[in-house]
Structure 1
């Protein structure tokens, strides 16, 4: 998986939380590839995951990364 795709995902998630499907659509990639990217970012602590009121899993920047982006 390329660093370029990971950075693109982080830039998009910086705009607000998204589902796997929404991220894949925004990045114009298959959901399987988006899942691989999200899993890597989640395991490295760069993103968080939560369930919204509709019980959909959403991904967002981790609080720590959000803070560092705000202060840069």
Structure 2
């Protein structure tokens, strides 16, 4: 389990203005990008390797990832 103590969370630039249902991202921890649901800040978070996270972001931005 990754220790996310000290994570500085920010609203994802990809989250819209949808009444608080947002994704938050923390990129300030060495070697990890953390993602969580803003509605449950004490709940679970996902931790990604920065390279994997970048590949995910590129996939989303390019339209290569769909439902």
TM-score, length-scaled by structure 2: 0.26
Decide which structure has greater helix share.
1
Select the structure with the greater relative contact order (CA < 8 A; seq sep ≥ 6): 1
Greater strand fraction, Structure 1 or Structure 2: 2
Larger Rg: 2
